[in-house]
Structure 1
Amino acid sequence: MNEDRKKIIALTTYLLSVFILGSLICPLLWEIIHNTPLKNIESIGEASFGKVCNRAFMLVAFGGLWPLAKQLNCTTKDDFGLAIPRKSFLKEFGMGFIFGAITLLCLALFFYFIELRTLKSGPIDERILKGIRKGVVTGIVVGLIEEIFFRGILTRILSRLGTLFMAIFISSTIYAAVHFIKGDSSTNYDVIHWHSGFTYLKSAFGLYADPRFIGSFLTLLTVGIFLAALTLKRGNIALAAGIHAGWVCIIKGNSNVTRTDGDSPYYWLVGNYDKFTGYAAFLWLAIICLGTWFFLEKRNKNCA
């Protein structure tokens, strides 16, 4: 069996394992939580079965990253897109974070201006501070993890198996697609069986039944293509991870301060994934990504 085929099998096995092992672990994790002192921790003990399932899938996905990396012979900093001095990484990540946050903050303000999103009830100052903390932490964690896997590992591995266009398109399609495998975190069952995780997993594909997923899918596909091309062009994930983190920061922080008005005549502008990405975000970020790419290309030519 040639090396390329082994890598494809390893990637396929990893994805299947996340769903199968994650589903099997869900009931076990539920039992551990409710039969140990963990149940006394409010944020854990009161979690619904759906939320426990989401965490189980994440644990399996994260736990399988290193075995997958070894199977793909991706164990160096370069393989993870991290072959860049720490000082330079932090500088580029920081610049990317600020850029990503500002560009998506403009869209968030636009949604607020047209009253598509309105302020949630409660002390606004407290919500803003909590939203900033939640946004920054979540943004950095998600930005780094997703960029290491989707751009640092997946895109770069695929680029060795075929053309750059194929690598960018396939990795970006997978990146966009997995975001919609998402069950309702409030899902709960009266009785938990060993197969309850599979029952929950079956419902996790429900977002695809709603045509509104198209706008969000196009948004994620667009940014995926941009971040993948940026990573391959620069040879590391620093700038891409920073931009990604900035975008996630605004989405998560904004969701803590505002809510989407389902009765707004502009409701069609957002999709069904996070009530933020959608046709408006697709158009805005497509312009931002294209403009940024041409700016970087022009600057590189001037510096050559």
Structure 2
Amino acid sequence: MRITAVFFSYLLICLVLAALLTYPVMATGYLDEDPQRVMGRLAQVFILLGLWPFLKRLQLADRRSLGYGIQGHAFRRAVALGWFEGVAILLMLALALVALEIRLPDADLELWPYLAKKALQALIGGLLIGVLEETFFRGALYTAIRRCDGVASAVVWTALLYMLVHFMKPSGLPEGVPFDWAGAWQMFGSVFIDVFQWKHLSSMAALFMVGVFLALVRERTGHIAWGIGLHAGWVFVIGVTRRMTDGNPEAPTAFLVGSYDGIIGWLAAVWIGLLALVFWGWTRRERSEEA
């Protein structure tokens, strides 16, 4: 719990710095972006700038602690294998959503070159997200908690913080509210209010199970390469699916997806949770047989 609070505090400080800087940056007139987008990007910049000193302070700034403690060729092979498995896992979910008419094929979709471009963006974006998030959550954070409190705490707390961070994002101001210093702090406050909205519950459950699964993979493999591949493959399928299909809120089973991205929700939580359970049982049996 204490280590998780330290990592959460680091993220919170970066967000506070972003809130302090957003209004002066927007006041320059050089950026033609929504204020909430600027605040979010500034927070990410502060996180990246301060990450290495932060990790060094916690004695986590080494390859093994960050989950990179295997040879380069083995690491790359594990990422590639994980990516294909991640695509297969989320593709089954996407096909189920289409079969249930929760998502409908986009009749106006331009297959080429639009889809190819979006697929490439999803591939690159997925790999970047996989590397950054796995290094932070299943690398540094997992190692820090496991050293102090053991496997169970590391799995639960990394999954919980991973889930929360996905919803701690600045939202736009209500119509008619000007963006000034007061508006900037109102946006900052919305980060914590939005987390507790009931509509996010199913998406939170899904992301928590994703975090549990990835943490179990980290524990069993001893590195984050496979997790990076899985993560990147999931992001890829979500990105492509959202561009090839449209959400159908009128479907009788529409409640199975949440508000986060129209893909994950209760169905994803059950599917990923089941896979996590099977994976843990299978790897435990293998280890007992080896012993």
TM-score (norm. length: structure 1) = 0.86
Q: How much does 1:178 deviate?
A: 1.4
1:117 to 103, 107, 113: 103
1:130 equivalenced with 2:126 (yes/no)? no
SS at 1:146 equivalent: helix
Q: What is the CA–CA distance in structure 2 between the aligned matches of 1:131 and 1:8, rounded to whole Å? A: 36
Aligned to 1:286: 273
Aligned partner of 2:260 in structure 1 is 273
Question: Which one-letter code corresponds to 2:146 in the other structure?
Answer: S
Cα distance in structure 2, aligned partners of 1:122 and 1:244: 26
1:64 to 50, 69, 81: 50
Task: Call closer, same or farther: CA 1:278–1:207 in 2, change over 3 Å.
Answer: farther
Structure 1 SS opposite 2:246: strand
Residue number in structure 2 paired with 1:213: 200
2:63 corresponds to which letter in structure 1?
Answer: K
CA gap 1:77/1:189 in 2 versus in 1, 3 angstroms: farther
Change (3 A) 1:255 1:9: closer
Distance (whole Å) between structure 2 residues aligned to residue 9 and residue 209 of structure 1 = 19
One-letter amino acid matched to 2:74: S
Q: Deviations over 1:39-71 (max 9, x none)?
A: 5xxxxx3x2222212212211222221121011
Q: Which amino acid aligns with 1:226?
A: F
Residues 216-244 of structure 1 show CA distances to partners (whole Å, capped at 9, x for unaligned) of 11111112112112212222111111111
- Provide the aligned C-alpha RMSD in A: 2.5
The alignment status of 1:170 with 2:157, answered yes or no, reads yes
Say whether residues 1:19 and 2:15 are aligned partners. Answer: yes
Identity, % of aligned pairs?
26
Residue aligning to 1:49:
35
Which stretch of structure 1 is more off in the superposition, 149-158 or 159-168? 159-168
Paired residue type of 1:275: G
Shift of 1:206: 4.6
Partner of 1:249: 236
The aligned amino acid for 1:289 is: A
Q: Hey, what does 1:30 align to over in structure 2?
A: 26
Find the counterpart in structure 2 of residue 197 from structure 1: 184
CA contact (8 A) 1:207 1:273 kept: no
Mean Cα displacement is larger for which, 110-119 or 183-192?
Answer: 183-192
Distance 2:103 2:270 in 1: 18
- Bigger CA drift: 101-110 or 187-196? 187-196
> Quick one: structure 1 residues 204 and 188, their matched pair in 2 at CA, closer, same or farther if it must change by over 3 Å?
farther
Change over 3 Å in CA distance of 1:8–1:140 after alignment to 2: closer
Question: Is contact 1:155–1:168 with CA below 8 Å preserved after alignment?
Answer: yes
Alpha-carbon separation, structure 2, partners of 1:50 and 1:242: 30
Q: 1:10 to 1:292 in 2, by over 3 A?
A: closer
Secondary structure of residue in 1 paired with 2:198 = coil
Residue in structure 2 matched with residue 42 of structure 1 by the alignment: none
Residue 124 of structure 1: how far off its partner (Å): 3.3
Alignment-mate amino acid for residue 68 of structure 2: L
Partner of 1:108: 94
Q: Which amino acid aligns with 1:279?
A: W
Q: How has the CA–CA distance of structure 1 residues 298 and 94 changed in structure 2, closer, same or farther, with 3 Å as cutoff?
A: farther
What is the total number of aligned residue pairs between the two structures? 290
State the match for 2:78 in structure 1: 92
| Counterparts of 1:25 and 1:31, CA distance in 2 | 10
Alpha-carbon deviations, 1:12-33, whole Å to 9, x = none? 541321221111122233245x
SS at match of 1:276: coil
Q: Per-residue deviation at 1:96?
A: 0.4
- Which structure 2 residues correspond to residues 218-237 of structure 1 after superposition, within 5 A? 218-237=205-224
The partner residue of 1:77 within 63, 70, 85 is: 63
Q: Which residue of 1 aligns with 2:136?
A: 149
Unaligned runs of 5+ in 2: none
Deviation at 1:292, TM superposition (A): 2.9
> Are the equivalent residues in 1 in contact too, given 2:145–2:154 (CA < 8 A)?
yes
CA distance in 1, matches of 2:284, 2:59: 31
Distance 2:85 2:192 in 1: 33
- TM-score, normalising length: structure 2: 0.89
Cα 1:115–1:10, aligned 2, differ >3 Å: closer, same or farther?
Answer: closer
